[in-house]
Amino acid sequence: MSLINKEKQTFSNPILPGFYPDPSICRVNEDYYMVTSSFAYFPGVPIFHSKDLVNWEQIGHVLDRQSQLDLDGAGISGGIFAPTIRYYKRTFYLITTNITNGGNFIVTSENPAGPWSEPYWLKNAPGIDPSLFFDEDGRVYYTGTRPAEDAKYFGDHEIWCQELDLKTMTLIGERHGLWRGALKNAHCPEGPHLYKINGYYYLLIAEGGTEHYHAVTIARSKNVFGPYEGNPGNPILTHRHLGKKHPISNPGHGDLVETQNGEWWMVALASRPYGGYFKNLGRETFLIPVEWEDGWPIVSPGTGKVESSYKVPDLPVFSVKKAEIRDDFDKEILSYIWNGIRTPREEFYSLTERPGFLRLKLRPQTLVDTLKMPSFDFQYVEKENFIIDCPSFIGRRQQHMNFIACVKMEFNPQKDYETAGLVLIQNNNFQYRFEYSIVDGQKVIRLIKCISKTDINFALKTFNSENIERKLAQAAFDSEVIYLKVSADGQDYNFYYGDSLENMKLLIGNVDGRILSPDMAGGFVGTYIGMFASSNGKFSSNYADFDWFEYKGGIVK
């Protein structure tokens, strides 16, 4: 579906709606490629292709094999942080951080659609948000974020740089601190990207934290290792001064690209709160025009803020196939919109055991198991005491404030611990499970609300959360063919069930969706909607078959 209004020659933001944060972009001749963070979802790092910067087609995932992506023990906001994609001498390079297992690494490919290489793990590369810069003389530089050696407060970080030997994939030479951000006592300078433009090295970063006070700032130097002078106009992008009622919030973590026609654009994350300051959709990807003035970039000239629409880039329109509303699961592999949680260590789903259906096996794992997380001090821990792995779950991003999600399921529970159905999940502590099960010997449809007793901010500290589960509604229902539907009108969610589409009943309406916002749940991700099956700590040979899943955005019924 095109985001371009052909009559007015404008496009709509965001260009990637839903949970697609920390965008990074590169151009190869007339083609553009972009990646975003994926945290604990597998496969990881979705990669997109475009020719007009507005319409994007997903061409795969960079990290699609167990050997590349170890997410064991990761909370949903753990795992993969802030990838950067670059192209150099017929090779694509992607560098990122696995915050849970291993730290910083590089993968490469000559084809952006893959396959990508096994990881090259970088030794002595502390911190997060790595980026690569390929200089004109052939030398390559790594930039990243680390705590300052003389840190005086939480978030007292610095951007650092070191040369990288591409042949051995090792950091060489002296490590240099480059910048600590534009604001005095800046909070969490991070997400660095280096560019060389008209003889200057430009260092673009994010600071202020990834929530309301997020910002993009920039500095420059004649020497790659500095010293760097900040732009007197910093921050070059922020909405922190616009208040929490503004329709677009917390823009930051930008990356710059120059088109073949000499235009400059920035991709950046931002969010769209609704129903109050709640951001169920997470951090999304926006496109913003850039002009250069007196040697510095002007982001969104004339307004200085991210707008919901702009004049289209001076590029030919890129036609992208309209996204399918319904997935009939009639292929042998899942389409790119689907993800699981954490790395699958055993087979939990099949598209071939019953052709035309997605079969989810009931396994002891649940969507609410708690785990021990490493503390977020930029140190990576060996796996130990992790008690959670990949649940039987396949989901996709919520991408609209108003939507309808519907699924046709065939499931015959035999025991009261056997459940399957539809789930809306922010993390393992905050979710709604719309499920079919047995209670007191009777088959029922029920809606379970799960919240946490404690204020969890994933990846900031070690935790063992204690969840509260409450049954919001329940109805007797006895059928092996079950239709489940969720509609959302903003933050009001409605749950329907039936044995056919023509015979749907409302189980409960106007359920508060704000628990699906990271503002309430903590963490860094957006809401997922998907299918699940579980035997809740017991062993079972049962399974649930899903005939199709349908998602319609922008409408309510």
Q: What is the strand order of the sheet 249-258 is part of? A: 249-258, 264-271, 284-293, 296-299
CA distances from 438 to 443, 492, 532 (A): 4, 27, 16
Q: What is the strand order of the sheet 4-5 is part of? A: 4-5, 10-12, 309-311
Judged by DSSP in three states, 532 sits in strand
Rounded Cα gap, residues 408 and 350, in angstroms? 16
Q: Among all residues, which ones are annotated catalytic?
A: 22, 190
User: Which residue carries 């017929």 as its tokens?
Assistant: 90
The secondary structure of residue 39, as a DSSP letter, is B
- Specify whether the CB–CB gap between 365 and 392 falls below 8 A: yes
Neighbours of 463 (CB within 10 A): 21
Write out the DSSP string of 320-352: -PPPPSEE---SSS--TT-BEES--SS--EEST
Q: Give 107-116's long-range contacts (Cβ < 8 A, gap of 24+).
A: 107/62, 107/63, 107/68, 109/62, 112/33, 112/47, 112/49, 112/59, 112/60, 113/47, 113/49, 113/59, 113/60, 114/60, 114/61, 114/62, 114/64, 115/64, 115/65, 116/62, 116/63, 116/64, 116/68
For the record, the structure tokens of 111 come out as: 């084809």
How far, in whole angstroms, is CA 158 from its chain's centroid? 24
Phi/psi at 520 (5° precision): -100, -35
- HSE (side-chain half, CA atoms, 13 Å) at 378: 20
- HSE (side-chain half, CA atoms, 13 Å) at 67: 7
Rounded Cα gap, residues 63 and 72, in angstroms? 15
Neighbours of 454 (CB within 10 A): 12
Distance between start and end Cα atoms, the chain: 22
- Specify whether the CB–CB gap between 11 and 267 falls below 8 A: no
Closest CA to 506 of 421, 453, 434, 456: 434
Write out the DSSP string of 105-131: EEEEESSTTSPPPPPEEPTT--SEEEE
